[in-house]
């Protein structure tokens, strides 16, 4: 059974991550299916990405699958995740994230790789990786700063604090907050309006906006990947994720100087 559902209506595609038992968390299989879905889409102007159910957009990467990784496996995993986000960012159509619940870790990184982000009233957003002894690895340290500025991004990443949709709107992370039942219909209504515009001009405008905000971006992504992988040699990721799964406070090893 596919973990990613794709439906098309005219020049609009809706991509739904359907792994509800795990709050739509991203594992390697989901990431590959998502990337394949985006690559195979054609003859559309707008793609909407959302999560199945009413609890989660994407509640992060799959911690159980990450907890046993060594540095080489960690690097391969973040390369996979960054590849997905870069595929979305470079897609030949406009992308909208309809955040219908938890958007944590990789879920928030997925949302901020899209051109536009709208959220439901019950949405909760965070980059909580430092609570687990890791860092955002799917582009979060790069894109979040571009979305909300360095100091706000630093606050979210260092604290790992979950914020509400209203807070996210106040800092410019999401564009609008809507009732859960209205989120997808309103986003589809916006997508219909965009689909009637000139696609080439919209893509050109997107390219310029991003280019002006992303000088040396590839170098930044490389640094994020290497830092993420290197952390897996410290013992912090293993303890942080084990503590999370065991529902206890983490006891991180003190670094030797």
Nearest to 29 by CA among 71, 62, 53: 62
CA dihedral sign, ordered 56, 67, 33, 128: positive
Query: Is there a catalytic annotation at residue 239?
Result: no
| Whole-angstrom Cα Rg for the chain | 18
CA dihedral sign, ordered 202, 60, 174, 6: positive
Q: Which residues of 115-152 are buried (b: 16+ CB within 10 A; e: fewer)?
A: bbbbbbebbbbbbbbbbbbbbbbbbbbbbbbebbeeee
Nearest to 165 by CA among 98, 92, 257: 98
Q: Which of 33, 89, 129, 236 is catalytic?
A: 129
Query: Is there a catalytic annotation at residue 129?
Result: yes
Four-CA torsion 85, 245, 66, 39, nearest 10 degrees: -30
Tell how strand 12-17 and strand 46-51 pair up: parallel
Q: Which of 89, 109, 224, 236 is catalytic?
A: 109
Q: Which residues are catalytic?
A: 109, 129
């Amino acid at each position: 059974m596919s973990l990613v559902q794709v439906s098309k209506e005219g020049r609009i595609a809706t991509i739904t991550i359907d792994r509800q038992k795990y709050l739509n968390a991203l594992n390697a299989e989901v990431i590959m299916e998502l990337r394949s879905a985006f690559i195979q889409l054609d003859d559309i102007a707008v793609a909407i990405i959302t999560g199945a159910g009413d609890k989660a957009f994407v509640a992060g990467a799959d911690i159980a699958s990450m907890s046993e990784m060594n540095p080489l496996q960690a690097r391969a995993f973040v390369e996979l995740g960054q590849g997905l986000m870069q595929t979305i960012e470079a897609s030949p159509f406009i992308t909208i994230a309809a955040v219908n619940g938890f958007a944590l870790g990789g879920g928030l990184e997925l949302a901020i790789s899209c051109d536009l982000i709208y959220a439901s009233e019950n949405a909760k957003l965070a980059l909580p990786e430092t609570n687990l002894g890791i860092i955002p690895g799917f582009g979060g340290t790069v894109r979040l700063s571009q979305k909300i500025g360095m100091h706000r991004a630093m606050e979210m990443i260092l604290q790992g604090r979950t914020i509400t949709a209203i807070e996210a709107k106040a800092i410019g992370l999401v564009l609008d907050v809507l009732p859960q039942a209205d989120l997808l219909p309103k986003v589809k209504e916006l997508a219909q309006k965009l689909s009637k515009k000139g696609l080439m001009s919209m893509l050109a405008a997107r390219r310029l906006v991003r280019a002006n905000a992303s000088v040396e971006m590839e170098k930044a992504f490389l640094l994020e990947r290497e830092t993420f992988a290197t952390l897996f040699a410290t013992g912090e990721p293993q303890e942080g994720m084990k503590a999370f799964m065991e529902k206890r406070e983490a006891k991180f090893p003190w670094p030797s100087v």
